């Protein structure tokens, strides 16, 4: 129910562009203990944004960092089982590497927005932003460090980028940096300026269910309706010099 309310808020804001809720006007930016902060939910979930490169007045919403259930350990089923509830023209992001194939429906990605996964031993994440119609498969490894991505609850727009459409702002759990996928880089935090890394084009595609049936009959298809269990704690990286060098 919480997710449905969240999604309704976004859809209403999308259809009434002039009335998209301004994060700045709604007090989502504030100062605390000499730090510039961005509301993230509970008191211990706010983002430190001392080096934010984006313009505050171009942020929208501010729903909280865990309002969208970005999956950490997604569950899958066979193509045969999934075929009972998908139609030929349903849209999917498909990753294929080594002997493994993963298929993520865009309908499910609208709910989760981010799905952290591993394919052929490589950490990846699938992401889809309905506001910008941006879907892609990204890498999560920088050197020997692996990042885990989630949704901040904010969108951002720039008239000069992506036709001025809103796009989601992500964050990573290990450094709590903010990322804007519409420009493919971190825009605040320890990793500011670090590039998002898309999985090579030869390993993924944006396609339809009918193509999966024909080309990838052995694919594992992400199950619909999965619940998100927020971790109580997670690894934090204090030294990010290796990531910045890469």
Of 32 and 12, which is predicted with more confidence?
Answer: 32
Split into its structural domains, the chain has a count of: 1
* Sign of the four-CA dihedral 227, 28, 152, 234: negative
Q: What does the pLDDT average to over 52-74?
A: 96
Residue 1 has pLDDT above 80, yes or no: no
Q: What is the mean pLDDT of residues 223-241?
A: 90
Strand segments, DSSP code E, in the chain are 29-32, 35-38, 47-48, 59-61, 76-78, 91-97, 100-105, 114-119, 122-129, 134-139, 141-142, 145-146, 149-156, 167-172, 178-180, 185-188, 204-208, 220-222
* Tokens at 170, concatenated: 């992500």
Q: Using one digit for the tens of pLDDT, what is the confidence trace for 77-96?
A: 999 999 999 999 999 999 99
Domain that holds residue 89: 65-224
Residue 216 covered by a domain: yes
- pLDDT 10s digits, 135-192: 999 999 999 999 999 999 999 999 999 999 999 999 999 999 999 999 999 999 999 9
Q: What is the largest CA-CA distance in the chain?
A: 58
CB-facing half-sphere around the CA of 62: CA atoms within 13 A: 22
- With respect to residue 36, please indicate whether it lies within any of the assigned structural domains: no
Question: Which pLDDT value is given to residue 12?
Answer: 47
Residue 242 lies in a domain: no
In a domain, 180, yes or no: yes
Report yes or no on 108 lying in a domain. yes
Residue 66: band (very low, low, confident or very high) from pLDDT cuts 50, 70, 90: confident
pLDDT digits (tens, 9 = 90+) for 38-62: 999 988 899 999 999 999 999 999 9
Residue 236 is assigned to a structural domain of this protein: no
pLDDT bin (cut points 50, 70, 90) of residue 199 is: very high
C-beta separation of 95 from 139 below 8 A: no
Using the predicted structure, report yes or no on whether residue 67 has a pLDDT greater than 70: yes
> What confidence score (pLDDT) does residue 230 get?
81
Higher pLDDT, 245 or 144: 144
Tell me if the pTM is above 0.75.
Answer: yes
The answer to the question of residue 3 being in a domain is: no
Tell me the mean pLDDT in the region 31-37: 98
Give pLDDT, residue 5: 46
The 8 Å CB, 24+ separation contacts for 235-242 are 235/173, 235/174, 236/174, 236/175, 237/145, 237/174, 237/175, 237/190, 240/145, 240/175, 240/190, 240/191, 242/142, 242/143, 242/144, 242/145
| Residue 28, in any domain of the structure | no
Adjacency order of strands within the sheet including 204-208? 76-78, 220-222, 100-105, 91-97, 204-208
Q: What Å distances lie between residue 82 and 76, 194, 213, 224, CA to CA?
A: 9, 37, 10, 9
Residue 229 has what pLDDT?
A: 81
What pLDDT, on a 0 to 100 scale, did the predictor assign at position 130? Answer: 97
């Amino acid at each position: 129910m919480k997710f449905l309310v969240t999604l309704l808020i976004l859809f209403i804001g999308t259809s009434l562009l002039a009335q998209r809720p301004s994060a700045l006007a709604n007090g989502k930016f504030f100062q605390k203990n000499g730090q510039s902060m961005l509301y993230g939910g509970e008191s211990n979930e706010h983002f430190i944004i001392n080096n934010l490169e984006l313009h505050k007045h171009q942020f929208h919403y501010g729903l909280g960092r865990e309002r969208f259930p970005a999956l950490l350990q997604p569950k899958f089923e066979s193509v045969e089982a999934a075929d009972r509830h998908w139609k030929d023209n349903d849209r999917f992001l498909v990753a294929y590497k080594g002997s493994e194939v993963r298929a993520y429906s865009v309908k499910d990605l609208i709910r989760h927005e981010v799905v952290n996964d591993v394919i052929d031993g490589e950490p990846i994440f699938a992401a889809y932003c309905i506001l910008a119609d941006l879907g892609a498969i990204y890498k999560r490894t920088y050197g020997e460090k692996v990042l885990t991505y989630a949704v901040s609850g904010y969108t951002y727009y720039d008239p000069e980028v992506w036709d001025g459409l809103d796009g989601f702002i992500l964050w990573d759990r290990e450094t709590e940096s903010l990322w804007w996928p519409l420009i493919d880089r971190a825009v605040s935090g320890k990793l500011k300026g670090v590039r998002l890394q898309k999985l090579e084009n030869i390993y993924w595609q944006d396609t339809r269910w009918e193509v999966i049936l024909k080309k990838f009959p052995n694919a594992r298809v992400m199950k619909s309706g999965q619940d998100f269990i927020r971790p109580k704690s997670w690894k934090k990286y204090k030294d990010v010099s290796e990531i910045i060098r890469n």
